[in-house]
Amino acid sequence: MIFDSPIGALAIYFNDSAVCELNFLHPPDDEQPEETPAAARVTAQLQAYFSSSVRPFSFPVLLRGTDFQRRVWHALQQIPAGEVRTYGQLAEQLHSSARAVGNACRQNPVPLVVPCHRVVSARGIGGFAGRTEGAEIRIKRWLLKHEGVTFPHE
């Protein structure tokens, strides 16, 4: 399904009733959202999030990845809205390296739902979706600001 948000169109894919992938679309796609009970739950929670009711998502999510990636993604889900962690902090927590944490964040199949935008560099905002500039960083800045975190221009 396609969800129009303040940060652009989001393509949301399901495996049965669980969200298994979320992609930022550049430019928006004309595909029409499929009307299912699962899609309605996801849409309602995304609308609440973007209308300033920032709270954890409670719809089912199917995360496919390596054991390490799933450990990182679980740790990301523990970071409350309005807070950030550095790649190094997560690496220490997971007994790994900052680069490995960054790579797992880059492979996150459901950004926003698994909030990799809440992970930043020790020297600034860091990257998002494998990029360090452009639309992805504008989205990361928007999401963090929406959740009450601001970063000066780098």
Calpha distance 117→107 (Å, rounded) = 13
From the list 116, 120, 129, 144, the catalytic residue is 116
CB–CB of 12/3 below 8 Å? yes
**What are the residues facing 11 on neighbouring strands?**
2, 23
Q: Is 105 a catalytic residue?
A: no
Residue 153 tokens read as 């221009």
> CA-to-CA distance for 41 and 36, rounded, in angstroms?
9
Backbone φ, ψ for residue 11 (5° rounding) = -90, 125
Catalytic positions: 116
